[in-house]
A and B are shown apart, each in its own frame.
Chain A
Amino acid sequence: MTAAATNTAGTYEAQSLECIRDDRVLFEDLSFGINPGQALVLEGRNGSGKTSLLRILCGIRLPESGKLLWEGEDIFRLGPEFHEHIAYLGHKDGSKLDLTPLENLRIAQGLGKASDGIDLEEALDQVGLYGFEDVPTRNLSAGQQRRLAIARLLVTDAKLWILDEPFTSLDRKGIEHMERLFEGHLNRGGMAAMTTHHRIGFRDEVQLVRINLSER
């Protein structure tokens, strides 16, 4: 068991996943693994099950069959112990419009595994929201609200970032900026699973695992 434990340290593995939605088999017998420093990139047509797969990877949605193993252990058995390792950015930002960006980040940090070394204002600065700490989130533009949602990823120790169209409503400069952020995370030994309509402009040294759900 110890040998297996060292091999699986910090890895995420999916074994023969099957997903059915509205009587349609979106994918079946889908297996892959994500290792530290790697990013899983999901491709495929609209409705091919990219979002469903990401939600399954989070543990929000149950796969019809198959297994998900974090460091060799079933994620549904781990429960909250698994959740402390992941951060999810969905279609919806998950921010409260009546709260300020700083208040939103404080909650995100409290919900995750509390991380001492991370300064909330610095996280806002990293996504380009310096100076907007105390503006109600409602008054931010759509792009700025998306930046705030990305800042949420930075305030916990989560190793695996699960990103569903993270670049929605960002301008080209914003996208490049966020790509550098994601690269930084991967270079520090982090992992990512993401979908995007944009061509990803990661630098060459980043290891990408591409899966095309329409061509299976």
Chain B
Amino acid sequence: MSTLSLTSAFSLLLKRDLVLAYRRRAELVNPMLFFVLVTAMFPLGIGNDAKLIEAVGPGVIWVAALLAALLSLDSMFRSDYDDGSLEQFMLSAHPVSILVLAKILAHWLVTGLPLFIVAPLLAVLLNIPASAIPTLMLTLILGTPVLSLIGSVGVALTVGLRRGGVILSILVLPLYVPVLIFATDAVKTAIVGIPTTAQLSILSAMLVGSLVLAPMATAASLRISLS
């Protein structure tokens, strides 16, 4: 199998998923809307205390991002499982992990990237100083792909189950903890004005690690779910 046809299979599948998302573009805003709504709930629950809101701001944004990512995960393989496309992927002449990577990338572009785009707006809502907004954006662009990658393993394991949703969150949320900790810590450190290189490089390392390992684990999990 030549590398040329491998990359073309990758881009073919990426394009396919983006086209499918575009044909259902009304659903594209939903994860973003959920992200904004959850974030807006926190000040209402905490009370109108500017200092307090500022203090919990980074944590709130990231917990909301976690929940938004979790909520959108189910759509990653669901329709392909239902209509039999997933079986066809498993029988492809290309390594399944590469195809899986294309699907994860497409899924992130559709559900993860929008979070990154609305983040500055939420930062303003939660009194996060403008100086820390670039760091917040950086943590989101490094961290949300990790959420999609780790999440893909959980979805792959639960896609064949009738009530996979709750189990999915039990499986995936504990694994999200490191991302949550380093991302919020980076933003908090940036608010104080201290360099955040350490946290950001750890997040990058997690991105690289999950980029290498997650597609393989997901491919193996899908094979198990379909058997």
Contacts and interface: CB of A to CB of B under 8 A. Distances in A.
Tell whether any CB of A sits under 8 Å from a CB of B in the complex: yes
Interface of A: 55, 58-62, 79-81, 83-84, 86-88, 90-99, 103, 106-108, 110-114, 156
Interface in B1-25: 1, 5, 8-9, 12-13, 16, 19-20, 23-24
Contacts of A55: 227
A113 to B, nearest CB: 5
B23 A98 contact: yes
A60 B84 contact: no
A83 B92 contact: yes
B91 A88 contact: yes
Contacts, number: 87
21 contacts: A55-B227, A59-B91, A60-B91, A60-B226, A80-B93, A81-B1, A81-B93, A83-B92, A88-B88, A94-B84, A96-B16, A96-B83, A98-B24, A99-B20, A110-B9, A111-B13, A111-B88, A111-B99, A112-B92, A112-B93, A113-B1
Contacts of A98: 20, 23-24
B84 A91 contact: yes
Contact of A60 (B9, B90, B93, B99): B90
B87 interface: yes
Contact of B85 (A94, A103, A112, A113): A94
B195 interface: no
Band of interface residues on B: 20 to 34
B129 interface: no
Given A90-B84, A98-B23, A98-B24, A107 B90 contact: no
The B contact surface, by secondary structure, is helix
B73 to A, nearest CB: 20
Contacts of A90: 84, 87
A97 B96 CA distance: 23
Nearest to B2: A114
Given A94-B84, A97-B83, A108-B88, A103 B19 contact: yes
B116 interface: no
7 smallest CB-CB distances across A and B, nearest first, come from A92-B84, A84-B93, A94-B84, A110-B12, A111-B92, A94-B88, A113-B93
Interface string B193-225: 000000000000000000000000000000100
B20 A96 contact: yes
Interface in B76-106: 79, 82-85, 87-96, 99
A123 to B, nearest CB: 16
Given A80-B94, A110-B8, A99 B19 contact: yes
Contacts of A58: 91
B94 A111 contact: yes
A62 B105 CA distance: 29
B20 A60 contact: no
A80 B95 contact: yes
Contacts of B16: 96, 99, 103, 107
A98 B26 CA distance: 14
Contacts of A114: 5, 8
B112 to A, nearest CB: 22
A103 B89 CA distance: 16
Given A93-B84, A97-B83, A83 B13 contact: no
A152 to B, nearest CB: 8
